[in-house]
Structure 1
Amino acid sequence: MRRYLYLLLFIISMFEACKPGNKQPSIKQTEAATNSASQQSPLTGDTISIAAVGDMMLGTSYPSRSNLPPDSGKRSFKPVLSHLRNADITFGNLEGVLLDTGAAAEFKLRQRSKAYLFRMPQSYGGLIKDAGFDLISLGNNHSNDFGLAGRKSTMRILDSLQIAYAGLRSKPTAIIKVKDIKVGFCAFSPNSQTVTLLDLKNAANIIQELKQQSDIVIVSFHGGGEGTGFEHVTRAIESYKGENRGNVYAFAHNAIDAGADVVLGHGPHLTRGMELYKKRFIAYSLGNFCTYKGVNTSGVCGLAPLLKLTINKKGEFAAGRIIATRQTYPRGIEIDTGNRVIKKIKSLNAADFPESPLVISNDGLLSASY
């Protein structure tokens, strides 16, 4: 009799779970619950965990589909899925558009860099969702590669997947809720149709307004020169091919002064240093994280951190870790057991931010010396 009673209760519970409106847990929620049950942290409940990466360009169908991965991108994030999914918030910069067909923007075709136009199939949005991404920056120099059609398609796909995004003039900010905390997000770059990186006063106004609506504010920026000649943060205006790429040091400090709690940079196509300012975390460039073809990943350009941060409810840095990754063609992204990007960041920090209280261990653990 007891066996039948258990069976009846099980059937009822399954019926309730399948009722319309009863949302099933996502992969991220399921993994987080498993990790929470098996490895409780004393910080859990009073903090927010963030996974953050740099540039993502999963392959481009322009000018031909030969620039797409042979497995439709299914392996793109596979070696690092557990790190991406196991965070309250996962962030990345989408370097290009989600669009199946369409002509490149005319002004892009007139530029010398016309070979570098990135059009990812719309289905690749599902790969980003499956990897656990919650926040996407569209504030970069490739979000307008295919004009209005590309921007609209990208926004539509991300909206359909319930992935928050910001950085375009038409969508400068976003707010999501994590646990019981409102997290505001905004993104900036010096490029067409994006929220400008160059106007510090306007950026401060946006951040201040967002802070009034949120408990924590995450700011993304796409700035600085590109390539191996631009590893260091100079604390001055940087120029690349005649274009003003901003003073990223001034921008990041201005953002925190205005109310930002985490500042995440990308754009130089390699990794730059990190620092703590007013107990808030700044990463000046998270490098080429997952970029299939069309982007140089040789040498230091193929090394990138997968940043894991823990911040308290005030937005202050609590702890962190750098997961070292590298890219090679055609193997793609993989964990780098040599920890080369960790060594690189430690070296850059010693040169660029000797006054910063950020401490990085040889295996990538982040702490503060104050």
Structure 2
Amino acid sequence: MPPRNGAGFFDSVRKGLASDLVMGNLEQPLTDDTGASKCGAGSTNCYAFRSPPSYAKHLVEGGFQLLNLANNHAKDFGDAGHGNTIKALDGAGLEYTGEQDQITVVEVKGVKVAVVGFSPYAGTNNLNDPAHSRSVIKQAKEKADLVVVQVHMGGEGDTKNHVKPGNEIYFGENRGDPIKFSHAVIDAGADVVIGHGPHVLRGMEFYKGKLIAYSLGNFAGGGRTLSKDGIKKYGGILRVTLAKDGTYVSGKFLSTYLNGNGLPTRDTADERGRELVGSLTKADFPETGATIGDDGTIKPAA
């Protein structure tokens, strides 16, 4: 468990997170032990995560308002654990998305924002089902001014930081074709695509004027949950401003890293995450890649 039972967990990054709508990917259930862990007794290569339901208050303290639950750990403690997560989020006044056909709409300063979560896992909007993906995005567009896609896609690990065409297979799972999926949902009406899953930072590109962030890396994970070695300890906060009609106005990337206790920490001195995203973007998207300035500003390629 984190120091002080999680109190002040997000202190270092709270200022950077402050925004009109703060979202994150909650890759664990908020539950007590349900007795239904996905990992069998004696398993040596299986990871099941959970935090106490009371930790929802720490998400609120950090400034989060909406969490994506479409990922491979949301049901680590079964349907009961997932249900407890929903109860904890509801009790804390937090919005969430990620169930199949779920479109979560929130209103921010008179602008309706629809958020849809995708992953390759059962019970969520399947990123490997192009027809359904397009359909749910079109429905979201009918309900809101802006459509934000949260998507858990791609292989994992420090060798998976490059984005390449084609499906990414990891431990026998089809983790999707990140480029094909992202372009498809933008064609269907999405205004920004925010990727997570690889546990490392990836590059960013613009497609039809819409920003795609293929992975924001590791942001937070207390104790031994996430690696704090090498490039896997780097992540970032993505700030995006959109006009009501979906036009990209501005963006900024703020570098973070996991400290020794796994707490998210602003990397104001070196901005190593920003440098990583910049170099990966140039390598993987030489024509469509975002331009990332020394101050973290994100602009379309000239």
TM-score (norm 2): 0.94
One-letter code of the match for 1:77?
F
Q: In the superposition, relative to structure 1, how do residues 172 and 110 fare at CA in structure 2: closer, same or farther (>3 Å)?
A: farther
Residues 308-339 of structure 1 show CA distances to partners (whole Å, capped at 9, x for unaligned) of 11111111211111111111322632111111
Q: In the superposition, relative to structure 1, how do residues 114 and 126 fare at CA in structure 2: closer, same or farther (>3 Å)?
A: farther
Tell me if the contact between 2:148 and 2:191 (Cα under 8 Å) persists in the aligned partners.
yes
Match of 2:227 in 1: 296
The total of aligned residue pairs comes to: 300
Question: How many Å apart are 1:368 and its aligned residue?
Answer: 2.7
Match of 2:93 in 1: 162
Matched, 1:81 2:45: no
Q: Distance in 2 between matches of 1:151 and 1:277?
A: 35
Matched, 1:100 2:27: no
Match of 2:176 in 1: 246
1:257-336, aligned counterparts within 5 Å?
Answer: 257-292=187-222, 293-330=224-261, 332-336=263-267
Q: Distance in 2 between matches of 1:191 and 1:110?
A: 23
Matched, 1:256 2:189: no
Tell me if the contact between 2:37 and 2:48 (Cα under 8 Å) persists in the aligned partners.
no
Matched, 1:69 2:2: yes
Q: Distance in 1 between matches of 2:248 and 2:205?
A: 11
Tell me if the contact between 2:134 and 2:188 (Cα under 8 Å) persists in the aligned partners.
yes
Tell me if the contact between 2:220 and 2:262 (Cα under 8 Å) persists in the aligned partners.
no
Q: CA RMSD in A?
A: 1.7
Residues 48-94 of structure 1 show CA distances to partners (whole Å, capped at 9, x for unaligned) of xxxxxxxxxxxxxxxxxxxx11311113211011121x211111000
Residues 338-369 of structure 1 show CA distances to partners (whole Å, capped at 9, x for unaligned) of 11111111111111111126211123111234
307-316 or 91-100, larger mean C-alpha shift: 307-316
Q: Which has the larger radius of gyration?
A: 1
Matched, 1:90 2:28: no
**Aligned-residue identity in percent:** 38
Q: Distance in 2 between matches of 1:314 and 1:299?
A: 40
Q: Distance in 2 between matches of 1:142 and 1:74?
A: 23
Tell me if the contact between 1:307 and 1:323 (Cα under 8 Å) persists in the aligned partners.
yes
Matched, 1:228 2:158: yes
Q: Distance in 2 between matches of 1:303 and 1:241?
A: 23
TM-score (norm 1): 0.78
One-letter code of the match for 1:166?
T
Q: Distance in 2 between matches of 1:279 and 1:173?
A: 23
Q: Distance in 2 between matches of 1:164 and 1:111?
A: 36
Match of 1:118 in 2: 49
Q: Distance in 1 between matches of 2:68 and 2:21?
A: 13
SS of 2:226's equivalent in the other structure is coil
Q: Distance in 2 between matches of 1:306 and 1:76?
A: 15
SS of 1:347's equivalent in the other structure is helix
Q: Which has the higher helix share?
A: 1
